[in-house]
Every structure is written in C-alpha cells, then in structure tokens.
Amino acid sequence: MHELAGLFLVFLYEVGAAVILPTPAELPLATYKWLPVGWMTLFAVLGKFAGSYLVFFLGDRLKNTQRFHSMVDRYRPLQAIMHWSELFVRRYGVFAVFLLLCIPGFPDTVSLYLFAAIGQRPVLFAAAASLATAVRFGLVIFGVWSIGQTT
C-alpha cells in the first residue's frame, strides 16, 4: 500500500514538473530503494503525459490573450525567442520536443509551455514529452548503474 502511495506521488510530481515546477523530471529516481524502478518509470510517464496535455491547453489559452501578445511585442528578447522557437518547431515538429526533453537534468516546464504556445497536436505533443521522460529515466538509470559497476 505504501508503494502505491509513493507511485501516486511520483505521478503528481511529474504533473507538477510539467505544469509549474522548474525541476528535472528524473528527480523521483532518488527513491529507487523504496519504489520499483519499472513502476516508477510508468507512473512518471503517465504523469508527464497528463501534465503535458494540460500544459498544451494552458499554452493554447495563453497565446490567444491580448496580454501575451502585448508582452511579446514589448520585449525584443521574448520576441526573438518566440520567433526562433516557432521556426524550430515548424521545421522539426514533435521530434524537436522529444529531443530537447530527452536531456537529463534539464527542467522542462519552460520548454513545454514554449512548445505548447506554438504546437497544434496535443496528444502527439504529450506523447513526445512522456516518451522523452522514459528516455531520461533510462539514461539516468543506465548512468548510475554504469558508475556503480566501475567502483
């Protein structure tokens, strides 16, 4: 029963990491001694999918507001970031979301909002973000396992 509660917390953490927390997605791996890594990865992927799906709709609502447009028009660096990001996403699509979010230790909240403000397909967007979380978990697990084998 305690494992299920811990896995639910991993799920909530990943939703929070997608929506508001500027922390890396693989942080729950610190609890690997108490929770099964396979189940933890599954719950993290499901949480990232749910959180990314929510971020997509928040970003979609945000980009349609007058306040957002006036802020982008007012600040040149923000204008340049939005322009570069739009070109990047239009050229590489969901694959860009996946590759960027595969980087271990990279907080993905800002990237998710940026891609959500530009993207069009919420399920594909959320699937790319959640699969990238699985890759990040795998890279961190493999890295820790490799370091443990050499010492």
What residue spans define the domains of the chain? 2-150
pLDDT for residue 145: 62
CA 37/CA 65 separation, integer angstroms: 41
pTM value is 0.78
| Sequential pLDDT tens for the chain (151 residues) | 677 777 888 899 888 888 888 777 777 777 666 777 788 888 888 999 999 889 888 877 877 788 877 877 888 887 787 788 778 777 887 887 788 888 887 777 777 877 777 766 788 888 888 898 888 888 888 876 666 555 5
- Alpha carbon of 115 to those of 25, 97, 121, 124: distances in Å? 17, 7, 11, 12
| Rounded distance between C-alpha atoms, residue 117 and residue 58, angstroms | 8
Q: Measure the CA–CA gap between 139 and 115, rounded to whole angstroms.
A: 23
